[in-house]
Amino acid sequence: MTSDAARLLARLRELLRTGEPDEVVQAYVRYLKAEPKDSLAWADLAGLLVALKRPEEAQEASRRALMLNPGLGSAQYHLGCAFQQLGRLDESEGLFRKVLRAEPGRIDVRISLAKGLIGKQDLDAACEELEEVIRQDPANLSAHQYLGQIFYGRGQWEAFHAELGRFRRIEPSSAYLEFECGFENLLRGVMPLGWQQWEARLRVPGCVGPERHFTEPRWSGESFTGRTLLVHYEQGFGDTLMLVRFLPQVKARGGTILLLVQPRLASLMATCPGVDQVLIQGGPLPPFDLQVSLYSLPALLRTDLDTLPKEIPYLGIPAQIPNQARITETLAASEGLIRVGLVWAGYTGHPRDAERSLPVGLVNRLGDLPGVAWHSFQLETTEEPSLPNFVSMAPMLSDFSDTAYALSGMDLVITVDTALTHLAGALGIPTLLLVTYVPDFRWMLDRSDSPWYPSMQIYRQPRWGDWDSVIQQLLADLGCG
């Protein structure tokens, strides 16, 4: 090794401890220009590029390492990870298994293999790998998380419960475990315990979005008369729409409430009782004394099924509707027909979108309902159903004020689990919700009503993926069976 290369390597080691990821990548590149035959450095660079979600570059770095040392396990592993990020799951599986034959104790490789098997829906094989990880490392958080996800995704509730119990015996103080137990209890309707456990999400990295770091103290449910409380949203549109129902209870305990929400919800949120001022995410914040997340309100208010606020509607129609004239004209065209709002697919970025969205072919069967004018509230779609009297409202929906105004003209809403579900429920519009076999916690298990929304009826898949039975039952209940 030349003296220049030695200095670069020393600098590289320093950056690995203190530097920014891009700095480290550049340091590796400089070092490898001086020492292009260092297979370990090529493999290390590949691993860093995988961590940075740069799989094409990671693939190239791995191949350079393997050209120099074909049996280098770390390079094989990083190449497998790059393939996994590129969706080449069969190739990644082959590489992971090759590494494990030589190094069966490589837990990181076995976890990655299980992750790929889950992606391929080879869940039994994934469970085998995860159980082997737990045999080698009983407290491995990733293995317990993936096993729980598999059992939850299959609707195997007893196995899910048992896995939580096994992890509790190993890591009783785990914040992630506490959060998962809260999720299970909320799914089963066990409140307020579930809400108290749900608070552990605040201690789980990456669980809260967007993350905020206020210096003002967190509100603990006490009276705050004469002071100002900032209530800030967490998670998506639907969560905000569902949780603002608690603000009148909060208002009864104190002074001024500032509500921080997503921009598209701002004008609609001004209709919520208990809100003194609506603020937009990304904008300036006025002074306030206390702060709290919307998702912490049920725990602070010790909410259970009996005390869950059911006053409907708890949102109204804003005074200013950007596309009011166009919406009014469109609704007038369906005068004399039953107006039904329709959403058959969710947000494509949702991790479970494929299973919670309806095939368009099944949606077409709703055309058997006579005398209906179908109003699509579908914002993301590449294919529309062939229904009579069908019109897309999407071009008129610039924000949730437009959507609320358009929904107010519907006689009925039929929808899969999306934010529109919560808006229709908050407005008190009769809603038929189509839910997957594995529901979100708020829809709970084995019930056709919703304690969140009295105007809602739930149609559940009787088996995983069985939308056909859902549509058949819905049509029968509406007189077309």
Q: Stretch 167-173: mean pLDDT, rounded?
A: 89
What one-character-per-residue DSSP string does 64-105 give?
A: HHHHH-TT-HHHHHHHHHHHHHTT-HHHHHHHHHHHHHH-TT
The answer to whether 368 and 473 have CB atoms below 8 angstroms apart is: no
CB 46: neighbour CB atoms within 10 A? 30
Spell out a b/e string for 460-476, using b for 16 or more CB atoms within 10 Å of the CB, else e: bbeeeeebeebbbebee
Of the options 3.40.50.1860, 1.20.1090.10, 3.40.50.2000, 3.30.70.380, the CATH number for the domain spanning 324-477: 3.40.50.2000
Give pLDDT tens digits for 403-431.
999 999 999 999 999 999 999 999 999 99
Give Cα separations from 302 to 56, 220, 296, 360 (angstroms). 50, 12, 10, 42
* pLDDT of 351 strictly over 90: no
Peptide bond preceding 322 in cis form (omega within 30 of 0): no
Burial grade of 264 (CB within 10 A; 0-12, 13-18, 19 or more): middle
Pull the structure tokens for residue 211.
Answer: 């993350």
Peptide bond preceding 388 in cis form (omega within 30 of 0): no
Report d(CA 467, CA 366) in Å as an integer: 13
Q: Stretch 36-57: mean pLDDT, rounded?
A: 92
| C-alpha 257: how far from chain center | 27
Could you tell me what percent of the chain has a pLDDT over 70?
A: 94
Residues 6+ apart with CB under 8 A from 201: 179, 182, 207, 208, 295
Residue 191's identity, in one-letter code, is M
pLDDT at 14: 60
CB 35: neighbour CB atoms within 10 A? 17
* Separate counts of helices (H) and strands (E) for the chain: 22, 10
Q: Is 480 helix (H, G, I), strand (E, B) or coil?
A: coil
Q: Stretch 35-60: mean pLDDT, rounded?
A: 92
The answer to whether 466 and 210 have CB atoms below 8 angstroms apart is: no
pLDDT at 15: 56
**Fold for domain 3-203?**
1.25.40
Name the β-bridge partners of 434. 416, 459
CB 188: neighbour CB atoms within 10 A? 15
The closest of 32, 33, 124, 48 to 81, measured between CA atoms, is 48
The closest of 351, 346, 348, 350 to 118, measured between CA atoms, is 351
Report d(CA 440, CA 355) in Å as an integer: 12
Q: What is the domain partition of the chain in residue ranges? A: 3-203, 224-300, 324-477
* pLDDT of 399 strictly over 50: yes
Residues 6+ apart with CB under 8 A from 60: none
Sheet strands (E) in 224-302:
224-232, 254-261, 277-280, 290-293
The answer to which of 24-28, 52-56, 215-219, 367-371 has the lowest mean pLDDT is: 24-28
Q: Is 161 helix (H, G, I), strand (E, B) or coil?
A: helix
pLDDT at 449: 96
Q: Stretch 366-389: mean pLDDT, rounded?
A: 91
* pLDDT of 110 strictly over 50: yes
Q: Stretch 93-119: mean pLDDT, rounded?
A: 96
Order of strands, sheet of 254-261, starting from the edge strand that comes earlier in the sequence: 277-280, 254-261, 224-232, 290-293
Q: Is the pTM of this model over 0.85?
A: yes
Biggest distance spanned by C-alpha atoms of the chain: 87
Name the β-bridge partners of 342. 376, 414
Report d(CA 350, CA 51) in Å as an integer: 22
Pull the structure tokens for residue 247.
Answer: 């603000």
Query: Comparing 3-203 with 324-477, is the CATH topology the same?
Result: no
Of the pLDDT bands very low, low, confident and very high (cuts 50, 70, 90), residue 2 is very low
CATH architecture of the domain with residue range 224-300: 3-Layer(aba) Sandwich (3.40)
The answer to whether 99 and 130 have CB atoms below 8 angstroms apart is: no
Report d(CA 55, CA 75) in Å as an integer: 13
Helix or strand run (H / E) with residue 374: strand 372-376
Q: Which residue has the higher pLDDT, 347 or 91?
A: 91
| Averaged pLDDT score across all residues of the chain | 92
The answer to which of 368-382, 386-400, 411-425 has the lowest mean pLDDT is: 368-382
Pull the structure tokens for residue 128.
Answer: 């085998």
The answer to whether 195 and 186 have CB atoms below 8 angstroms apart is: yes
Report d(CA 180, CA 1) in Å as an integer: 52
Give pLDDT tens digits for 253-272.
989 999 999 999 999 999 99
Give pLDDT tens digits for 190-245.
999 999 999 999 999 888 888 898 999 999 999 999 999 999 999 999 999 999 99
Pull the structure tokens for residue 335.
Answer: 């005068």
Of the pLDDT bands very low, low, confident and very high (cuts 50, 70, 90), residue 29 is confident
Helix or strand run (H / E) with residue 8: helix 3-18
Pull the structure tokens for residue 46.
Answer: 């590949």
Measured CA angle at 171 (ends 166, 174), to 5 deg = 115
Pull the structure tokens for residue 401.
Answer: 């004020």
Q: Stretch 472-477: mean pLDDT, rounded?
A: 95
Give pLDDT tens digits for 273-321.
999 999 999 999 999 999 999 999 999 999 999 999 989 999 999 999 9
Q: Stretch 331-342: mean pLDDT, rounded?
A: 96
